[in-house]
A and B are shown apart, each in its own frame.
Chain A
Amino acid sequence: MNTSLPEPELRPLGVDGILVRFARTLTEAANARALAFCEQAKNASIAGVTEVASSLVSVRVGFDPHVTNRNSVTQAVTKLLASEQATQNSPKRLWRIPVAFGPTYAPQLGEVAALAGLTPEQAVAEVEATTVRVIAIGFAPGQPYLGMLPSNWNVPRQSNLTDSLPRGALICAVRQLIIWAAEAPTGWRHIGQTAFRVYLPEATDPFALEPGDAVQFSAVSDSDFRDIEANTDTNGGATCEVLR
């Protein structure tokens, strides 16, 4: 369906899984294809398949080796790939999430803006103007990789890792944004702060975002942000609009 992409590669990933990799570098086309194939594989209800998960450019099809085997699943996957449908690529949901960009909440905004050839004000305006998509969920529970920002945002990870960041930090590298949810060092730079929790372990529906969702960030003043943080009736002041 997309002739600009190479043939997907099928590789083992564990004794109970097959990875279908659509590209070796991240492009919006490869990501869209991975997300579409993930939906297709889930809906196909292949016998013995226990779990289907996507990442940036690939999909893992997990199976129960006592119910089926690698050959059967490989055949089913190959057949699905041959019948890849032109899937609806438009987002199902649109999230709007408030962000504080004041200096205490965005210690590395100036640095990233300079690397992207912008003033901090222009950088905030570009983030606000770009509707990003959830291109993957992972690393930590519910944590979204969001992309893609304009090409001037192709800022490398910093070589010195930041030891820890507050939950909900908006961080940036290689044309992507992450709403941080992990307790780990990171090379991504801290350019804003949300009060949005991507993961609520004790809730009936613990994960807020899904791959493919659209996200818009809106700048709020530091004092408005503190009000949002204090208000526990909403998830960080975010709204979610169902599009289809």
Chain B
Amino acid sequence: MVQLTIISAGQGLTVQDLGRPGWKAQGLSTGGAADPLALLEAAALLGTSPAQAVIEMMGFGGRFKADEGTRFALTGATMDADVDGVRVLPNSTSFLPAGATLTVGAAKAGVYGYLAFAGGITTPLIMDSRAAHLTAGIGKRLQAGDTLPLGLDPDRMRAPRKLRVEDRFSGGTVRIMPGPQTDFFDQQALDAFTKTTFHRSPRGNRQGIRLEHSGAEFGTKDGLNHVSDLIVPGDIQVTGAGVPYVLLAECQTIGGYPRIGSVIPADLPKIAQATPGTTLQFRFLTLEEADATAQTQAAKLRQLAQMCQPMVRDPHDIADLLRYQLISGATSGDDLERP
């Protein structure tokens, strides 16, 4: 077993994986990574299982050290990183030698960055998952001084790879689908909603984010007098004041506010990764169009794995070029002649 030490940590570090599906009936939402696509990207790069647990870093990273060398990848929000001062590129595999310090800084684009190690984090499973679900009392925020067990890197010598990722860090148009309460809103309200430009409010967390706007109101025909009903991540709740909240991985399972529609899973990372102030607009898909976007995580992972490319580094970009053993196998030229 490898031990990872967290030397310092930002405020929003937790262990995450793809969460705990299947407990909705018991009131426990799936939870897991706020941007699950980043976990699939990391798995594609490292050639590992997407079920492995990673460190999710909201807004800011930390400093880390492992007692055995291991490959790792940084995906999701773009965060500056280095290993003992040598820059590490995002969305590619890198090597953290035993005892070296990996420093991950503030997010420059996006909200949630992910640090995945090739052996995965191997904390005990709780209900088949290692994901912290803080509102459900599972797991905790990581702090300086904490240690985490990692699995051994199964393939330390695997050639480094890189991946060009989908830009989901700059807002834009988000596709939504109709839900069970869309027809609680009249056409005028639906039109007002899709014509409005929203800004991601500073208020938001893994449960959901609030959207602000200065456009027309779009309440339901009969106000807030609705019976509470089941929720899925992506649902857009509209509260009394016409303020929409988009629900994320760690949302509650039942809610009473009417929901105008639901962000399709393929576009939900755009919501999770929108920094405060980012502009967002919504466009309704028909049910058929929305269903056609459904993709299993396994299928997405296969697609990403095919997109990974070998990493060829330009020697000009290698700051520590002289640290590398550039020539090996040189001889004095008379080896074969010697006895």
**Chain A residues proximal to chain B, CB less than 8 Å:** 9, 11-17, 19, 21, 23-26, 38, 50-58, 60, 62, 64-66, 69-70, 136-143, 145, 181-184, 199, 201-202, 206-207, 211
Chain A residues near B253: list those with CB within 8 A: 53, 138-139
User: Can you give 5 A-B contacts (C-beta < 8 A)?
Assistant: A14-B179, A38-B25, A65-B294, A141-B27, A141-B136
Chain B residues near A53: list those with CB within 8 A: 24-25, 230, 253
**Chain B residues proximal to chain A, CB less than 8 Å:** 21-28, 126-127, 135-138, 177-180, 226-230, 232, 234, 252-255, 262, 264-265, 287, 290-291, 293-294, 296, 299
Chain A residues near B265: list those with CB within 8 A: 14-15
Q: Is B179 touching A12 in the complex (CB atoms < 8 A)?
A: yes
Chain B proximity of A150: nearest CB distance (Å): 19
Q: Is B25 touching A52 in the complex (CB atoms < 8 A)?
A: yes
Q: Is B179 touching A54 in the complex (CB atoms < 8 A)?
A: no
Q: Is A138 touching B126 in the complex (CB atoms < 8 A)?
A: no
Q: Is A138 touching B177 in the complex (CB atoms < 8 A)?
A: no
Q: Is A142 touching B26 in the complex (CB atoms < 8 A)?
A: yes
Nearest-neighbor residue (CB-CB) of A207 within chain B: B26
Q: Is B296 touching A64 in the complex (CB atoms < 8 A)?
A: yes
Q: A13 CA to B27 CA in the complex, in Å?
A: 17
Q: A15 CA to B177 CA in the complex, in Å?
A: 8
Q: Is A56 touching B227 in the complex (CB atoms < 8 A)?
A: yes
Chain A residues near B227: list those with CB within 8 A: 23-26, 56-57
Chain B proximity of A117: nearest CB distance (Å): 23
Chain B residues near A62: list those with CB within 8 A: 24
Q: Is A65 touching B179 in the complex (CB atoms < 8 A)?
A: no
A-B pairs with lowest CB-CB distance, top 9 = A138-B254, A11-B180, A53-B25, A65-B294, A15-B294, A14-B232, A141-B28, A138-B27, A53-B24
The contact of A69 among B23, B126, B230, B291, by CB within 8 Å, is B291
Q: A142 CA to B229 CA in the complex, in Å?
A: 16
Q: A120 CA to B252 CA in the complex, in Å?
A: 32
Q: Is B294 touching A201 in the complex (CB atoms < 8 A)?
A: no
Question: Known: A55-B228, A55-B254. Is A15-B23 also a contact (CB below 8 A)?
Answer: no
Chain B proximity of A43: nearest CB distance (Å): 14
Q: A206 CA to B226 CA in the complex, in Å?
A: 30
Chain B residues near A70: list those with CB within 8 A: 287, 291
Q: Is A51 touching B24 in the complex (CB atoms < 8 A)?
A: yes
Q: Is B23 touching A141 in the complex (CB atoms < 8 A)?
A: yes
The contact of B252 among A25, A50, A69, A140, by CB within 8 Å, is A140
Chain A residues near B26: list those with CB within 8 A: 137, 141-142, 199, 206-207
The contact of B179 among A9, A13, A57, by CB within 8 Å, is A13
Q: Can you name 16 extra interface pairs (CB under 8 A) apart from A25-B227, A138-B24, A138-B230?
A: A12-B179, A14-B179, A14-B232, A15-B291, A53-B253, A55-B229, A55-B230, A56-B227, A57-B227, A64-B296, A137-B27, A142-B26, A182-B135, A182-B252, A184-B252, A199-B137
Chain B proximity of A144: nearest CB distance (Å): 9
Q: Is A15 touching B290 in the complex (CB atoms < 8 A)?
A: yes
Chain B residues near A183: list those with CB within 8 A: 135
Q: Is A14 touching B254 in the complex (CB atoms < 8 A)?
A: no
Chain A residues near B27: list those with CB within 8 A: 137-143, 181, 199, 207
Question: Known: A51-B24, A60-B230. Is A21-B180 also a contact (CB below 8 A)?
Answer: yes
Q: A199 CA to B179 CA in the complex, in Å?
A: 30
Chain A residues near B296: list those with CB within 8 A: 64-66
Q: A26 CA to B23 CA in the complex, in Å?
A: 23
Chain A proximity of B90: nearest CB distance (Å): 29
Question: Known: A14-B262, A21-B180. Is A51-B21 also a contact (CB below 8 A)?
Answer: yes
Nearest-neighbor residue (CB-CB) of A176 within chain B: B228
Q: A13 CA to B291 CA in the complex, in Å?
A: 11
Q: A70 CA to B288 CA in the complex, in Å?
A: 9
Chain B residues near A181: list those with CB within 8 A: 27
Q: A25 CA to B227 CA in the complex, in Å?
A: 6
Chain B proximity of A103: nearest CB distance (Å): 29
Chain B residues near A69: list those with CB within 8 A: 291
Q: A213 CA to B221 CA in the complex, in Å?
A: 35
- Among B127, B226, B227, the one with the most A-chain Cβ atoms within 10 Å of its Cβ is B227
Q: Is B138 touching A201 in the complex (CB atoms < 8 A)?
A: yes
Nearest-neighbor residue (CB-CB) of A183 within chain B: B135
Q: Is A201 touching B25 in the complex (CB atoms < 8 A)?
A: no
Q: Is B177 touching A139 in the complex (CB atoms < 8 A)?
A: no
The contact of B255 among A17, A60, A64, A139, by CB within 8 Å, is A139
